[in-house]
Every structure is written in C-alpha cells, then in structure tokens.
Amino acid sequence: MDVNAAVAAVAAIAGLLTGVIAMLAFRWSERDQARPTRTSLHTDAVLPPGVDTVLSVLRSSAVVLDEGDAVVKASSAAYALGLVRGGKLAVEPMLQMARDTRRDGEIRQVELDLARRGTGRGEALAVSARVAPLGSRLVLLLVEDLTEARRIEAVRRDFVANVSHELKTPVGALSLLSEAVMDAADDPEAVTRFAGRMQIEATRLTNLVQELIDLSRVQNDHPLEDAEPVRVDELVAEAIDRSRQTAGTKNITMAAGGTTDLRVWGHRGQLAAALGNLVENAVNYSPAHTRVGIAARRVTAPGGDLIEIAVTDQGIGIPDKDKERIFERFYRVDPARSRATGGTGLGLAIVKHVVASHGGEVTVWSTEGQGSTFTLRLPEAAAGRDRTQDRRTPSSEITNEPLTAPEVLP
C-alpha cells in the first residue's frame, strides 16, 4: 500500500508539472505572437485605417514618414524614382520639408530638379513634391513626375516660335513685294519681276500651311483603324511621279528596283506622303546629272517579316552631328539651301510620325559628299505568301546587305 501510494503521489506531481509547463509555453507563445514585428510597426499598425488602400490607387509617388524620419510606407513608384533608399527618404530638400511640416502642421509644396538614376547623360528629373501631416505623428509626401509634361511644353513653345518665324518670312516678303509693285506701277517689266517673286513666296507659304496641316493630321489620326494592304510598287510609282518634273529640270535619273509585288499594312495616303517626301528631298538635295534610286525588299524579323524601302541619292550628304536632329520639326542642316529649294523643315518630321504610327521605323545612312540613304521599315501586310513567286531584279541591282549606301542603286 505504501509503494502504491508513493507511485500515485509521484504521478500526480509529474502531471502537475506538465500542466504548469504547458500553460507557461502557451502564455509565452501568445505573448510572442502579440509582440509587434518590425514589419507591422511600419505598416498596418501605424497607418490610419484606409490610408494604405488610398495610397495604393494614387498615381503620385507616395511616401509616409514617422516621427523619426523612417519610411513607414512607400509606393513602388517612389522606389523607381529613387526617392527612397535603404528605408530612408533620399532627397534632402523633401526630408527638410517633412520635418518642417511635422513641426508646424503646414502643408508645403515645391518643384525640384533631381538627378536621374541609371543614366550617364546627366538628365534632370523634374518633380513636384507636396507634404502634408497625416494624423498626429506621420507625414505624407506626394511626388508628381513632371519631366514629360515639361518636355511637351518645351516642344510646344519651340513649335509655336518656329511656326511664327516660318510664317513671318513669306508674309513679310509678300508685303514688301506688294509695295514694290505699287511703286513700280508705271514699269511693266518691274511689275512682272515682282509678281514672279510674289508667286514664289505665295507658293512657299501654301506649302508650309499644307505641311502643318499634314503634320497635325498624322499626329492625331489613328491610321491602323482604316488600314488596308498597300502595294509598295504603287507607292514608289506615285513618289517618282511627284518629283519627276523637278528631276527632269536637273537631269536627275530616278530608278526603281528591288523585289516587286510587296505589300505593307497601313493608310495609303499617309504612306504615299512619307515616301514622296523622301524622294522629293533626295531630288532637291542632289546636284544635276546624278541618280536617285528607290529599292524595296522583304527582310526577316523575329516579330514577322518587314518591308524595307530605301531611297538613295548621290547628293551633298548629312554631317554626323546633324543626323540625330534631322527628324525634328523645322530643323535644317543648311537653312540657306533649304530656302533655296523651298523646304519647310517639316518633311522628315512627317515621315517619322507616319512610320512610327504604322509600327515601323526610319533610319538614315549618310556621308558628306557621297550621298544619303533613308530606309523605311514597315510590317508586311500579306501572310502565307509563296516566296517562289517573288519577282526579283538582278543581284547587281539589290543585295542581301542593308540598303545603306549609294552602291545599291538599281
């Protein structure tokens, strides 16, 4: 009996100890789970209810700072702009604004130019920062990227200035010539001479207005909405006819070659205008008794076959420093020569916009004194064609190399 009693007592004590240990472990686990983690301190436990949801739908870059200037919440856009690094706000002027707002509760706003991360070109990032208190301890920073808006505004200002200048020249000339005609009313020969000059200036003014209309149209239209298969042969023939008279006056030979029966997908009128501008430029900037060639071919690309249309001349060429800017509106390599040829500085800008809106690209090869080659690359329209039916010119007229040199003239 004594042995049994002793065993029972030991078992009771062991059970009691096990229960105590289990209870302590349970309490310890609950306390550990209730203890705020580093993540919870900086998210839901600190932000007022609903703020996290609101910040997630804002287009602005958002950063929430606590009383120690630590980042409590930051949007992905804030990280992308380089505003937050290592859990800290990396822009000192914004950090100082946040401190001032935390101190007096005033809302502050400022525009800043920040260094752009990841580029070696030293480009500035224009932003607008607005700081406001969020509750009693937090500060909210909202940052808008104004870089693209400023770029568009600068383009608009330049465009208006250039248009004003380009319009002023022929209008001023017409005004002076009309006065000259009035003063020379008794001199038929002078009247005829001045009237001829007035016709030239009026034509230049008409061309400028028309190209402004064309440029506005290609920028605003959606050509692929009314797209259709367009025969490249017809585009080439139309471009040649457009410049045939000018080429004949200068004894410039125009020839077409390459692969025939090709089609591109797009707006026929815009594509014809783009290729026509390239051929017209080639003729205008080529000396007499030279050659202008237009060659087309199909090239294989990962996303589908492309059609290359190259316009090659033996003209004055383009300096290397100007190649990156020739597609800008109103930019001229040689303003004096452009005025002599009647150029408006809008032709290549129209070409660039047309090709881009059709999902293609335009490139240029040029050497001063040797000539230039402008190449349009556009998606092919037809699919599942029989390549054996392609009719090609002799290999001496078109090569398998990119159409980038005068030697590829047919």
Strands 291-299 and 253-258: parallel
Return the H-helix or E-strand segment holding 74. strand 71-74
Domains of the chain as residue ranges with CATH: 51-145 (3.30.450.20), 147-220 (1.10.287.130), 224-408 (3.30.565.10)
Q: Write down the pTM of the prediction.
A: 0.53
Q: What is the pLDDT of residue 81?
A: 83
Tokens (6 digits) for 306: 């492309």
Q: What is the pLDDT of residue 177?
A: 86
3-state secondary structure 162-221: HHHHHHHHHHHHHHHHHHHHHHCCCCHHHHHHHHHHHHHHHHHHHHHHHHHHHHHHHHHC
State the Cα–Cα distance between residues 138 and 52, nearest whole angstrom. Answer: 13
Distances (CA, A) of 354 to 52, 262, 282, 404: 44, 19, 18, 21
Distances (CA, A) of 249 to 115, 174, 241, 287: 55, 26, 14, 11
Query: CA quadruple 101, 102, 103, 105: dihedral positive or negative?
Result: positive
- Residue whose C-alpha is closest to residue 348's, from 183, 252, 218: 218
Tokens (6 digits) for 338: 């452009």
Token match 């290359």: residue? Answer: 308
State the Cα–Cα distance between residues 211 and 349, nearest whole angstrom. Answer: 10
Q: What is the pLDDT of residue 117?
A: 61
Return the H-helix or E-strand segment holding 291. strand 291-299
Helix 232-249 vs helix 268-284: crossing angle, to nearest 10: 30
- 3-class state of residue 84 by DSSP: strand
Q: What is the pLDDT of residue 390?
A: 39
Q: What is the pLDDT of residue 41?
A: 38
Token match 């808006």: residue? Answer: 149
| pLDDT, one tens digit for every residue, the chain (410 residues) | 455 565 566 566 656 655 555 565 555 545 544 444 333 334 444 677 777 777 777 778 889 988 888 888 888 888 888 888 888 888 888 989 889 998 888 899 988 888 766 544 456 788 889 999 987 788 899 998 888 888 778 777 776 777 776 677 778 888 888 888 888 888 888 888 888 888 888 887 887 777 777 777 666 666 566 778 999 999 999 999 988 988 999 999 999 988 888 999 888 888 998 999 899 989 988 999 999 999 999 998 887 889 999 999 988 888 888 887 888 777 766 655 555 555 567 778 888 888 888 889 999 999 888 899 999 999 988 643 443 333 333 333 333 333 333 333 33
pLDDT digits (tens, 9 = 90+) for 17-38: 555 555 655 555 455 444 443 3
Q: What is the pLDDT of residue 5?
A: 61
Q: What is the pLDDT of residue 259?
A: 87
Return the H-helix or E-strand segment holding 68. none
